[in-house]
A and B are shown apart, each in its own frame.
Chain A
Amino acid sequence: MIHSRLILSAALAGGVALSATAQESNPAVDARQGQFQIMALNIGVLGNMARGNTEYDAEAAQAAANNLLTMSQIDQRFHWVPGTDNESIEGTRALPAIWEEGSRVIEIWGEFGTGAEGLAAVAGDGLDAMRAALGPVGAACGSCHDDYRAAAN
């Protein structure tokens, strides 16, 4: 009985997700896109220093790295509701592979966490140390985009 009710509500949830259109924003999608924007903004602070576009500022670098570390510690479960992939709804480039068996997203998110930890440990110790520690963070982002984000239209 409980089972059939679960299946019914799952089916309803799926139906709701399928009927969602471009106009309706999805809170989970909004939340994760916002999350990535915050990440990009903070990576940008560090990336611009690494590129020599802005002067290295140990305090600002540390703050940005701390933010990235904090972001990596946010539990992701509510951002990634099943049925919010790009085949089910508009407005996202998240591929269904995220939710499929054998998905490496959790592992890669862990790599981002490790990278962010390494970055936060040295971001205030000078430009070279920060630049070197930024690499693994970017690599984790790229790993996920490689297999789990569709190309833009």
Chain B
Amino acid sequence: MRGFVRFVLILGLVAVAAGLWLTRPISIPEEEVAGLTGDAEAGEAVFWAAGCASCHSADEAEGEARLVLSGGQAFPSDFGTFRAPNISSNPEHGIGDWTLAEFLTALQNGISPEGQHYYPAFPYTAYRLAERQDLVDLFAFMQTLPASDAISLPHEVGFPFSIRRAVGAWNLLHLRDEFTVEDPLSDEETRGRYLAEALAHCGECHTPRNALGGLDRGAWLTGAPDPSGQGRIPDLTPEALGWSTGEIAAYLNDGFTPDFDVAGGHMQSVIQNMARLTEADRAAIAAYLLHARDDN
């Protein structure tokens, strides 16, 4: 009997150890990125494509104020309200004192410099797919942006979601190294997929989520309930949207739908980012979306 209890105890300890090991925060070592140098100008294009300003600028920021990444915007969800932190170049309140390895660890592994898991409201799940050089360039660009001494607000997340370690388990289920649309694509569609899936993270809002808050990749870009509680975030599949590539690309530039209605909500901010991309990149996103539709 004592032998059995000991056996169960040991088994339990092994399970806990395995769990802790599997959900441990994984950091990118400094040596791995030592030789990399960023180009701030190239990084600006990544910055707009990745949509950083849409969540990390102050609420209602317009124009140049969108470059002040002071944080503070609230993001309601089924798990509580998340608050975008200050990611400005301020060394104390922002990310001004981060190393490149810490920056990449945050963006691609979802781990803070203190070794804590970020909540996936921050789309590291998408940025994980980004080319490392693009993120190195982004880091260089973000260092040129203004510093803000705004204090990051805590997330309003209740138990059990307040246990950060649980995000490690969530990551085991949801963190992927593959794109969602996997069929053969033209060069333009491949570029569009990179922009849409790795940088612009369209799926974060336009794809429904499962009970754990993970994206339902089988229903990729088919629309989802609006987190405000009213209405839906649009379905981007062909039957539902029915726009041409030209119409999608033009919308991402000027914000007018084919009927010359104007986007509201978060999409307005997304369009302000998309309008900064090259025309070829907007066309690539449109080509990807039309392709992505064919398989659904």
Contact = CB atoms under 8 A, between A and B. Distances in A.
A28 interface: no
Interface in B225-284: 226, 228, 230-234, 250, 254-256, 259-265, 268
Interface residues of A, number: 23
Contacts of B226: 151
Contacts of A71: none
Contacts of A146: 264-265, 268
Nearest to A39: B260
A152 interface: yes
B250 A145 contact: no
Interface in A77-100: 86, 93, 95
A43 B254 CA distance: 12
B254 A51 contact: yes
Interface string B201-233: 000000000000000000000000010101111
A151 B231 contact: yes
A151 B265 contact: yes
A151 B260 contact: no
Given A41-B260, A47-B260, A150 B268 contact: no
Nearest to B259: A40
Contact of B255 (A44, A142, A150, A152): A142
Contacts of A141: 262
Nearest to A137: B262
B228 A151 contact: yes
Given A93-B231, A150-B230, A151-B230, A145 B256 contact: no
A145 B254 contact: no
B256 A152 contact: no
24 contacts: A40-B261, A41-B260, A43-B256, A43-B260, A44-B256, A47-B254, A51-B250, A51-B254, A93-B231, A95-B230, A134-B254, A141-B262, A142-B255, A142-B262, A145-B265, A145-B268, A146-B265, A149-B264, A150-B228, A151-B233, A151-B265, A152-B232, A152-B234, A153-B231
Given A138-B254, A152-B231, 8 more contacts: A43-B260, A47-B256, A141-B262, A142-B255, A142-B263, A144-B264, A145-B268, A151-B228
| A-B complex: 5 closest residue pairs judged by Cβ atoms | A145-B264, A151-B231, A141-B262, A44-B260, A151-B226
